[in-house]
Each structure stands twice: as C-alpha cells, then as structure tokens.
Structure 1
Amino acid sequence: MNPTEELFREDAHLLRCEALVLGLEEGGGLILDRTVAYPLGGGQAGDSGCIRAGDQSWRFADARKSKQHPGAILHLIEGEGPPPGTPVVVEIDAARRDKHRRFHTSTHLLCALLPYPVDGCSITEAYARLDFHTDEAFDKEALQAGLDRLVAEARAVRHRWISEEELDANPSLVRSMSVQPPRGLGRIRVIEVEGVDLQPCGGTHVANTAEIGEVRVTKIEKKAAKTRRVVLGFDA
C-alpha cells in the first residue's frame, strides 16, 4: 500500500481535502491516499474530523500512524466505512487543529527561553507541557513575560527542509532527548521561529507568533531531581 500524502506538512492551515480510499485496517483505521489529518506523534495529539462520500459520513475520533503499512495514516472510524476506490472528502475539526498549532508553536518559544534539553512533551487541545532536563529553578513570572514578548513581536514561523547531512553537521538543532527526527527519507523538516528558534519538527504550527494569543504558564513543577515541567494553557 502506498504511503499517505501528508498535506499538513506543507500547509497547517489546510482543513479540508479530497482523497481516495485505499483500505481499512482491522480496528477501524481507514487509509486514504492523501489527508489533512495529522496523526499522533512527536508529542502532538492526532486530529479528529469527518470523512464524507456522497450523502454518507463517518466521524474519526483520532488519526494514527499505521503499524502494518509504514507511511500510511489511519483515520479511526466506527463501522466498515467506504470501500477501496471511493472518492471522499476529509475535513478536520478546526478548533482542535487551532489549539494544536498555537500550543505547539508556544512550546518552541519555551525552548528559546529555556536553553535546556527536552526530555518529554505533550501537546493536546487542552494544554501543552514540556519537561526540561535541568535542576535549575524556573521563574514563572519571568517565563510568562518572555512568552508575552515573543507573541507580541509577531515573529514569522515557517518550515523548510534540510538534508540529513546538514542535521549531522548541526546536532545541537535537536532539542529533544526522547524523540529523534525520522531518518531514511534523505531530508529533515525543521521549524523556524524567525530570529528565535530553529529545530527539527513534524508538527503543525501557526504562521506568526501573534496567532498564539494569550498563552499562560499555568504550572511549573519539579518532577525529578533533573526534570522541570512547564505546563501551558489558554484563557479561552
């Protein structure tokens, strides 16, 4: 089975696309030839949404990477779904994607403000958290002020691709201790927050830090002797 074309890699604001059904895995995983739905991975939750074929529709509660077919993305639906070869329309939940994009870029701003390795990450529509490998204490008010400043500066956020050789020549670009960029494709996707941060990332992001809005540092925790956790939330 061919890999699913990942439209979200090039345009995280794209919410809808036309696609063709390739198959259905046991457990309700509908595989399409292309999709706007981001699958769970890299600490970021998967998208949810709806798949339509004519006057029929199927909700998918999550999107995951297939273990049986490398490169394929599963849309977790209930029931049999449309048969292979059926043209469909995929539409993701806009509010969920919006929260994911805003939170994910916010975590990159945290990485710019806190120059420590990251050893844990979770990005959902309800909150985002990063675990930093350090025994240093964090100042909550100073961290909040830093986030407010970077959001207000309306810095451009863009993605580009570099070669695996370029990454090997700049290993400090990788901030995560637990999630490594995928290898074997010949290129690595990186996210750049203009003048602030540059690191490998496959997730969905805003196009400008001003889109993040009022993100709040809701909690700072000491999780272990060498782990400090920062949790982010939105006022609304």
Structure 2
Amino acid sequence: MAELLYLTDAYVQTFEAIVTAVTDDGLVLDKTAFYPGGGGQPCDFGTLTADEQRWDVTKVKRVSGQIVHFVAGEKPGVGTAVTGQLDWDRRYKLMRTHTAMHILCGVIWRDYGASVTGGNMDPLKGRMDFEFETMRQELVAEIETAVNAEVAAARDTRVQILPREKAFQIPDLIRTKINLLPEGIKEVRTVELIGLDLQADGGTHVKNTSEVGRMRITDYKSKGKINKRIYVELE
C-alpha cells in the first residue's frame, strides 16, 4: 500500500516517490500527496517529473485498492524516481471549501440536530443536503451568521487516526444519514474542528477555521419532503 501523505499533512505540496506500477492510464507510486477524490471532494491535479520529462496529472483515482495518477504519453518504468507537485492553488481552495462544509455541518447539527443527506464541492463553492422539513430565508440568514462566527472563532483542526473500536465510541461520529464506512476498515480517520465538529473523514482540511474566509449562503432549495439543499460560496 502506498503511503498517503495527505492523511497526516494536507500542506505537503511537493514530494519524492518511486513508481511501483504502470497501468494503461497512469502511474502507481510508493507514496503520494495527491488526493484521489472522495467524500464530495474532487481529486487533485498537478505534475510528475523525472529528469527532463514531465507528465501532467489530469486525474487521480483509487482503482482496485491502488491510487492511480492518470498521465498521458510514454510513461516511466517501474523503479523510476519522480517528483510530485500539486496544483497548490486549487488544492488549497478545496481544503478551505471542505473545512467550510464541516463548519456548516457542525453548526446545523449543533443548532438544529439535522443530519447530512448528501454533498459535493468545487474550489470555493459547494452544496450540502440536510434533513430539514422546512427552510426559509430567516433560517438561512441565521445559519450564515453562525457559520461566519465559527470562522472568526479561529478553531484549530485536529486530525487523528484511531482504531475502529475507539472511533465508534465517539458520539455522533457519523453525521451522514447513512454510515458509509465499510465494515472491514480497522482504522478510522477523524477530523475535528475543536469545540464545534468531530466526524469521520478522509479529505484534506486547513489547520484553522480562520483560513476558510467569509462564507456566503447563495441559495437553498427543497429536494424532497425532508431534504433541503444549501449552497455555499467562499470569498
């Protein structure tokens, strides 16, 4: 299994690695800082270089348990040393956005007890669905005020990898309506916005909520009898 650098340090921008396998689509490395996508967060982009050669990483995806870095053209052989470089501007925007989604989730869980029923994000914007029966403009304004108060509170982010048994002793660890963690997972990665939110999560986040920046709720829609969608953008 590759060493997944982003799990313990989301701020790694460049790294050295060895090619361990070559597929029709791309390269498998012994370590990577590229996030393969999941949990609503898109995959990273960037480049791989070796000597004078350079490959644009156009997609990263987990395939049959391996993380494949999709590249075009003639590929290096197994054993080649490469340097990985993330598209950091895009990644950092996604980190801010993902943490913003956790702030939104944490506020709505704390203040209204509503579970998450879905979500997705792009750099600096995203949407989340919650189990609300009704949604009105006054409620949306309350939520926007509350989430920006949490940004201003400058809450630190704490990431831990815990044994499954210990992780599931944490109350309300799973905030989604359906528990998406496979039964066979022995360790659970948790992301905590200290004092606000604690969830099982595999994505990348900023170190402090102050890095998120101001959040705006740009729209809301009913997606069903007890399913309301909230759209957020960052400034």
Q: Same fold (TM over 0.5)?
A: yes
| 1:169 CA drift (Å) | 3.1
Counterparts in 2 of 1:87 and 1:16: CA distance versus 1, 3 Å: same
Deviation sequence 1:88-115 (CA, Å, 0-9, x none):
0001101111111101111111111112
* 1:48 equivalenced with 2:37 (yes/no): no
TM-score (structure 2 length as normaliser): 0.92
* 1:109 equivalenced with 2:106 (yes/no): no
Deviation sequence 1:52-89 (CA, Å, 0-9, x none):
0011100011211012xx1x211111123211110000
In 1: Cα distance, 2:182 partner to 2:150 partner: 29
* 1:201 equivalenced with 2:201 (yes/no): yes
Q: CA RMSD in A?
A: 1.5
Partner of 1:96: 90
* 1:121 equivalenced with 2:122 (yes/no): no
Partner of 1:11: 9
Contact 1:51 / 1:60 at 8 angstroms: preserved in 2? yes
Counterpart selection for 1:133 from 115, 131, 134: 131
In 2: Cα distance, 1:173 partner to 1:136 partner: 25
* 1:79 equivalenced with 2:76 (yes/no): no
In 2: Cα distance, 1:162 partner to 1:121 partner: 25
Counterparts in 2 of 1:123 and 1:64: CA distance versus 1, 3 Å: same
Per the alignment, in what secondary structure is the counterpart of residue 73 of structure 1? Answer: strand
**Aligned positions of 1:206-221 closer than 5 A:** 206-221=206-221
In 2: Cα distance, 1:50 partner to 1:216 partner: 33
* 1:61 equivalenced with 2:58 (yes/no): yes
Unpaired stretches in structure 1, ≥5 consecutive residues: none
In 2: Cα distance, 1:30 partner to 1:183 partner: 29
Per the alignment, in what secondary structure is the counterpart of residue 95 of structure 1? Answer: helix
Unpaired stretches in structure 2, ≥5 consecutive residues: none
Contact 2:118 / 2:130 at 8 angstroms: preserved in 1? yes
Deviation sequence 1:182-223 (CA, Å, 0-9, x none):
443422110110100111001000000000012221111111
